[in-house]
Amino acid sequence: MTTLKERLHADVIVHMKAGNRTALTTVRNVLGEIETREKSGKTPVELDDTQVTALLQKEAAKRRDTAGIYAEAGEDARAAAEIAEAEVIEAYLPKALTAAEVEAIVDETIAGLKADGMELTMRQMGAVMKPVTAEVAGRFDGKAVSEIVRSRLA
């Protein structure tokens, strides 16, 4: 199975052959950002898929925010370009979970911990959040997950 980074590198060639300039420049910019992250610091590191996914989410969010600013300023063409770039980046992200799916994961985790004999109160929120966060990993907003966990434990 190829890594996300390998897929991005392969897609550079695909976009180049297809003549898709927007996708090509977006993927190249993202790869540049990945390389910058890997080389920054005292020792170079290799980003894994989870870290690359987090970086892609930030890049997509950045573009959506910029598009909003352009739209407010009346720069519709620039806003559309930013949204197009965000959509290219989001195509590489895992399918987002719905709130109902996340609630089911939280309920499953809580049931599993209770079955193990753990008494769950707000103090044990971390014990619930750790496995839930690992399973949800980048497919749902972390703050919303913590609110769901908090409401279930209250």
Alpha helices by DSSP H, listed for 19-73, are 21-39, 49-72
Domain of residue 67, residue span: 4-90
- Number of domains into which the chain is organized: 2
CATH of the domain at 129: 1.10.10
pLDDT value of position 116: 78
pLDDT value of position 128: 83
pLDDT value of position 74: 92
Mean predicted confidence (pLDDT) in 94-112: 85
- H and E: helices and strands count for the chain: 7, 0
pLDDT value of position 1: 54
Q: For residues 147 and 108, state if they share a domain.
A: yes
Site of tokens 């195509």: 91
Give percent of the chain with pLDDT exceeding 70: 99
Tokens in use for 127? 């014990």
Among 59, 90, 121, the domain-final residue is 90
Tokens in use for 75? 């720069």
Q: For residues 8 and 79, state if they share a domain.
A: yes
pLDDT value of position 8: 92
Q: For residues 85 and 21, state if they share a domain.
A: yes
